Amino acid sequence: MLSCHPTLDMLTDYSSGSLSLAHALAVSTHLDQCAHCREQVKRLNMLGAELLSKQADTAPQSQMSALKSSVLARITAQSEPTSEQATAPAPSSALSDTLRHIPATLRRYIPEGYDKLKWMSLTPSFKLATLSNESSGEQIALLYIKAGAAMPYHTHTGDEITLVLSGAFSDEEGLYRAGDFIRRGDEDHHQPRVTKDADCICLIVLDSPIEFTGRFSRFFNPIMRYFHPSRLAG
Amino acid sequence: MVSENLDSDHTLVDDMALIATQKNTAALERLFDHYAPRIRAFCLSAQPGSNLMADDIAQEVMIRIWNKAHLYNPATASLNTWVFTIARNARIDYMRKNGRYQSDIDPDGFWSELVDENADPFSDVQQKRDQERIRNGLNELPNDQQQVLSKVYLEGKSHSEASQELGLPLGTVKSRVRLALNKLSVIIKR
């Protein structure tokens, strides 16, 4: 049983489509691993469906006919079979061992497994691989931390979402396992430590660059800033 | 109105099967007549007056329905829910490509009922019951709660955007959404 989930507000924004895509990606990755939140989102989607079906458009009949003809023309024009035509995603049982352990939402960003990503080593026991830099300034990345190691002490301006993909870590507030979804604000000042039994991989979504606050790790701040998209934006 | 909705939903599900197995265009026309006006209205509530955007998204949704009909499984989600998630994703996609913040993330790859490998095949009856309760409950919600739900779901506003536009404290918006979700029994207790 997972102990950390997105809030109901966040699931509602996910279902209604107003969450930023970076945050929505983290929520969707959590849904891959959490039956309870999947049920919750299903119900929220039902509500969206009911509200949609109560909508009435006032467009004149002629405009709707023109639109319909255009849809029919477009489907006939599609060469058959088109590459755009949807195929069902492969069931996880058909996937290689490498990919099966990656949540379905993330597979398109990690097509050849964790090992083939471009990892940047920040310390001998701590690596980071960027999956996407959003033009809004959000950064989506994976963290890889060796068993038993501590992540450098850090704070951040803006929110940070951490989703455990494998292994486990703990901080002052508790123990977090695969599937756990943790959202922290900028006032948090924490030092996660990975449990000794296994390496830990986490998905992180940052609103703004991470800051390392230890005496030694101040060294990393310029590096992290260098790789953060907001530097490029402005 | 309610019973008409249920009946038409049934034949529309049959139409989905006709598209999946025979690529039947008459079936798509019937789905268009039912859904396209609703999708246009859904888009216009987010961007009043943007008729071009509404037309674009409605077309895109109908084409996705055509191309994905063979993936639709009535046991995992009602057709209305399936179309809602397609319309919502198409609207996000439109904003992603034309909006202020462009993004490489494609919402089409997100978790959905459609590809839920763990879906309970016996939940069909439960699903219909939930849906009916939501449908009937919506008519009985107080106006202020209907208003926030429509801000959030139809206009696609976040809780904080809704609070700004309604001139209400964020806490009030959140609690109204929560009260509404509670009354509709949308919230699942942990």
- List the single range of A130-134, A196-200, B51-55, B82-86 with lowest mean pLDDT: A130-134
Alpha helices in B23-169 (DSSP H): 25-46, 51-68, 79-98, 124-140, 143-149, 159-166
Structural domains of chain A, count? 1
Pairing of β A200-206 and β A120-123: unpaired
Which of B59, B156, B174 is facing A17, going by the closest CB pair? B156
Structural domains of chain B, count? 2
Assess B134–A contact: CB distance below 8 Å, yes or no: yes
The CATH number given to whatever domain includes residue A207 is 2.60.120.10
Average pLDDT of the segment spanning A120-132: 88
Backbone angles phi, psi at A141, to 5 degrees: -145, 165
The type of residue at A211 is E
- Please check whether residue A31 lies inside any domain of the structure: no
Burial of B161 (C-beta count, 10 Å sphere; 0-12/13-18/19+)? middle
Chain A residues whose beta carbon lies within 8 Å of the beta carbon of residue B134? 43, 46-47, 50
Distance from CA of B147 to the nearest CA of A (A): 12
Both B114 and B40 in a single domain?
yes
Both B99 and B167 in a single domain?
no
Nearest by Cα to A163 from A34, A8, A18: A34
- Return mean pLDDT, chain B: 87
Size of interface A-B (CB pairs under 8 A): 200
Cα Rg of chain A (Å, integer): 21
Nearest by Cα to A169 from A149, A152, A197, A192: A192
Both B145 and B109 in a single domain?
no
- List the single range of A107-111, B28-32, B49-53, B72-76 with lowest mean pLDDT: B72-76
- Please check whether residue A20 lies inside any domain of the structure: no
**Confidence at B89, pLDDT banded by 50, 70, 90:** very high
Whole-angstrom Cα distance, residue B50 to residue B85?
Answer: 21
- Taking CA–CA distances from A80, the nearest residue in chain B reads B67
Both B117 and B155 in a single domain?
no
Which of B80, B115, B184 is facing A49, going by the closest CB pair? B80
Average pLDDT of the segment spanning B98-123: 73
Average pLDDT of the segment spanning B56-72: 94
- List the single range of B55-64, B68-77, B178-187 with lowest mean pLDDT: B68-77
Contact A12 B177 (CB under 8 A): yes
Average pLDDT of the segment spanning A118-139: 87
Which of A18, A31, A72 is facing B25, going by the closest CB pair? A72
CB A180 within 8 A of CB A164: yes
- Please check whether residue B24 lies inside any domain of the structure: yes
Q: Identify the sign of the CA torsion A90, A91, A96, A98.
A: positive
- Return mean pLDDT, chain A: 83
Residue A207 clears pLDDT 90, i.e. is over it:
no
Helix (H) or strand (E) holding A107: none
Higher pLDDT, B41 or A220: B41
Chain A residues whose beta carbon lies within 8 Å of the beta carbon of residue B103? 21-22, 132, 134-136
Beta-carbon contacts of B159 under 8 Å, excluding residues fewer than 6 positions away, are: A9, A12, A13, B152, B170, B173, B174, B177
- Please check whether residue B165 lies inside any domain of the structure: yes
Tokens of B78: 């009602």
Q: How many residues does chain B have?
A: 190
The CATH number given to whatever domain includes residue B165 is 1.10.10.10
Whole-angstrom Cα distance, residue A25 to residue A19?
Answer: 9
- List the single range of A6-15, A49-58, B21-30, B164-173 with lowest mean pLDDT: A49-58
Q: Which of B1, B39, B111 to mutate to test the interface with A (most CBs of A within 10 A)?
A: B111
- Please check whether residue A3 lies inside any domain of the structure: no
Both B110 and B146 in a single domain?
no
Residue A218 clears pLDDT 60, i.e. is over it:
no
The CATH number given to whatever domain includes residue B28 is 1.10.1740.10
Check: complex ipTM more than 0.95: no
In this prediction, residue B176 carries a pLDDT of 96
Chain A residues whose beta carbon lies within 8 Å of the beta carbon of residue B85? 45, 48
Highest-confidence range of A73-87, A191-205, B162-176, by mean pLDDT?
B162-176
Q: What is the pLDDT of residues B134-143, one digit of tens each?
A: 999 999 999 9
Both B20 and B114 in a single domain?
yes
Residue A86 clears pLDDT 80, i.e. is over it:
no
Both B22 and B115 in a single domain?
yes
In this prediction, residue B30 carries a pLDDT of 95
Residue A166 clears pLDDT 80, i.e. is over it:
yes
- Please check whether residue A146 lies inside any domain of the structure: yes
- Please check whether residue B133 lies inside any domain of the structure: no
Contact A52 B161 (CB under 8 A): no
- Please check whether residue A143 lies inside any domain of the structure: yes
In this prediction, residue A138 carries a pLDDT of 87
Structural domain of B167: 141-190
- Please check whether residue A14 lies inside any domain of the structure: no
Tokens of A189: 């000042």
Tokens of A147: 């068993």
